[in-house]
């Protein structure tokens, strides 16, 4: 039986691999290999019938993956202690691998091994955290070319960004997809903390009309680029500034309230007054929060009720989700609530 590989453009590699995996024809026992300056050879079990590729070729010299990072490190002389200290998880964003190295001392060697495991990637970044109100990432190049600018594809949405300059949370993938599924065509949405378009883009691609606000000029630049990249510039209004100032400036009869407000920020509760004044009666607010396990779900739900009461409105919780672990004993959660009544 021939060993097959699909030829795909490098610029489309991530989304094509996702599609091949969904179709069930991606061969994860072999490595993705470079075919030429513009193309990768992506291993497949059979010729795809649902995923568009440029060609399918036979491989005379297929290169099989190692079983995992541990095996690869052991083959490179790592001791059991060094392997235990190596990262157990990482994220591939476009052609960049993001890793929290923790106590690992041989970071460059581990980075080189990760590049061998992920042939579609060319840079490894150590993640040190996010700081400040503009969510500035602290990263360090540990292996590869050092190119931190990339285009990440996810559920059909393309995100252009520089991972050394703007934040991207790989663990929020399911929530980004969810927001693209819950909106309806032509509904109006206020995205109060838009970033590079994490939620704005999937919602606009689904047909919603989104007002996206971002105060970080660098993130805003990518937000604008991504609106064009995803061909949704006619359905998004992009505003640079603090979302509270934007809400204050737009308040009034000439600016009708939104059907939905998205608050994708851990301290979103501090902005609930602005969210509620922006929301139409019967509209939905999606409030994100980092909540200690012991306070689920009392704290975020309580904050919603308190803010609504102060605005003369009422809330009905219609959904709640754990997005991912934020830190030990703390969860990144989202509470969805329908808001009734008028705030003025």
How does 9-20 read in b/e, with b if 16+ C-beta sit within 10 Å? ebebbbbbbbbb
Dump pLDDT digits (tens) for 80-137.
999 999 999 899 999 999 999 999 999 999 999 999 988 889 999 999 988 877 788 9
- Do residues 302 and 226 both lie within one domain? yes
Average pLDDT of the segment spanning 53-77: 85
- Mean pLDDT score, 277-287: 96
The partner residues of 41 in beta bridges, in order of sequence, read 7, 33
Query: Is residue 52 a part of any domain in this protein?
Result: yes
Q: Is residue 158 in a domain?
A: no
Residue 157 maps to a domain: no
Contact, 190 vs 260, CB < 8 A?
yes
Bridge partners, residue 162, by sequence: 149
Determine, yes or no, domain membership for 254: yes
- Give the CA-trace dihedral at 218, 219, 225, 227, to 10 degrees: -160
For residue 275, pLDDT beyond 90: yes
pLDDT band at 225 (very low <50, low <70, confident <90, very high): very high
Q: How far apart are CA 88 and CA 83, in angstroms?
A: 9
Q: Quick: pLDDT tens for 4-30.
A: 999 999 888 888 898 898 888 998 778
Separation of alpha carbons 66 and 191, rounded Å: 43
The per-residue pLDDT for 343 is: 45
Give alpha helix (H) positions in 230-266: 243-250
Residues 14 and 119 in one domain: no
Task: Output the DSSP codes for 258-323.
Answer: EEEEEE-STBGGGGHHHHHHHEEEEEEEEEEEEEEGGGTTHHHHHHHHHHHHHTT-EEEEEEEEEE
Residue that is last in its domain, among 147, 181, 203: 147
3-state secondary structure of 104: coil
One domain, residues 109 and 252? no
Whether 124 and 259 map to the same domain: the answer is no
255 falls within a domain: yes
Residue 64 lies in a domain: no
Q: So what's the pLDDT on residue 147?
A: 96
Half-sphere exposure of residue 213: CA atoms within 13 angstroms, side-chain side: 22
Same domain, 36 and 112: no
In this structure, are 114 and 77 located in the same domain? yes
- Judge if 175 and 322 occupy the same domain: yes
299 or 65, greater pLDDT: 299
**Among all chains, which residue has been given the structure tokens 């392997």?**
83
Share the mean pLDDT of the chain. 92
Q: Is 328 annotated as a binding residue?
A: no
Structural domain harbouring 33: 4-58
What's the pLDDT at 67?
61
228 located within any domain: yes
| Residue 93 and residue 32 in one domain | no
**DSSP character at residue 241:** S
The answer to whether residue 83 sits within a structural domain is yes
Instruction: Provide the pLDDT for residue 13.
Output: 87
**Domains identified in the chain, total number:** 3
Q: Is 169 annotated as a binding residue?
A: yes
Backbone dihedral region for residue 4 (phi beyond 0: left; psi -120 to 50: alpha; all else: beta): beta
* Per-residue DSSP letter, 8: E
Supply the pTM of this predicted model.
0.80
pLDDT of 263 > 60? The answer is yes
CB atoms within 10 A of CB 184: 10
- Whether 54 and 90 map to the same domain: the answer is no
CATH code of the domain covering residue 99 = 3.30.300.110
Pair 54, 193 in one domain: no
Residue 155 region by backbone torsions, left for phi larger than 0, else alpha for psi between -120 and 50, else beta: left
| Domain co-membership, 215 together with 313 | yes
Residues 207 and 226 placed together within one structural domain of the fold: yes
**Which of 234, 241, 239, 243 lies closest to 262 in space, CA to CA?**
243
3-state secondary structure at position 61: coil
Highest mean pLDDT among 53-57, 127-131, 314-318: 314-318
């Amino acid at each position: 039986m021939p060993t097959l590989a699909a030829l795909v453009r490098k610029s489309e590699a991530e989304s094509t691999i996702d599609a091949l995996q969904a179709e069930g024809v991606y061969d994860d026992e072999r490595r993705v290999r470079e075919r030429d300056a513009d193309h990768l050879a992506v291993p497949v079990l059979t010729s795809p019938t649902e995923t568009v590729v440029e060609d399918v070729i036979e491989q005379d010299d297929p290169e099989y993956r190692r079983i995992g990072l541990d095996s690869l490190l052991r083959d490179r002389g790592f001791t059991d202690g060094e392997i235990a200290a190596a990262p157990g998880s990482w994220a591939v964003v476009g052609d960049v691998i993001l890793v929290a190295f923790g106590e690992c001392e041989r970071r460059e060697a581990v980075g080189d091994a990760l590049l061998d495991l992920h042939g579609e990637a060319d840079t490894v970044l150590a993640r040190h955290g996010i700081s400040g109100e503009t969510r500035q990432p602290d990263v360090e190049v540990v292996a590869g070319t050092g190119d931190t600018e990339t285009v990440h594809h996810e559920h059909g949405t393309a995100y252009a960004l520089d991972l050394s300059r703007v934040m991207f949370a790989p663990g929020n993938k399911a929530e980004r997809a969810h927001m693209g599924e819950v909106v309806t065509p032509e509904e109006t949405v206020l995205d109060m903390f838009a970033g590079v378009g994490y939620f704005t883009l999937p919602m606009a691609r689904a047909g919603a009309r989104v007002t996206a606000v971002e105060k970080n000029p660098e993130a805003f630049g990518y937000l604008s680029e991504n609106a064009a990249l995803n061909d949704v510039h006619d359905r998004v209004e992009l505003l640079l500034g603090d979302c509270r100032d934007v809400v204050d400036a737009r308040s009034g009869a000439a600016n009708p309230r939104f059907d939905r407000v998205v608050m994708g920020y851990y301290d979103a509760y501090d902005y609930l007054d602005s969210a509620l004044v922006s929301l139409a009666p019967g509209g939905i607010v999606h409030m994100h929060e980092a909540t200690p396990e012991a306070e689920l779900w009392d704290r975020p739900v309580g904050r919603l009720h308190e803010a609504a009461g102060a605005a003369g409105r009422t809330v009905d919780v219609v959904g709640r989700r754990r997005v991912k672990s934020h830190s030990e004993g703390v969860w990144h959660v989202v509470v969805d609530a329908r808001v009734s009544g008028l705030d003025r």
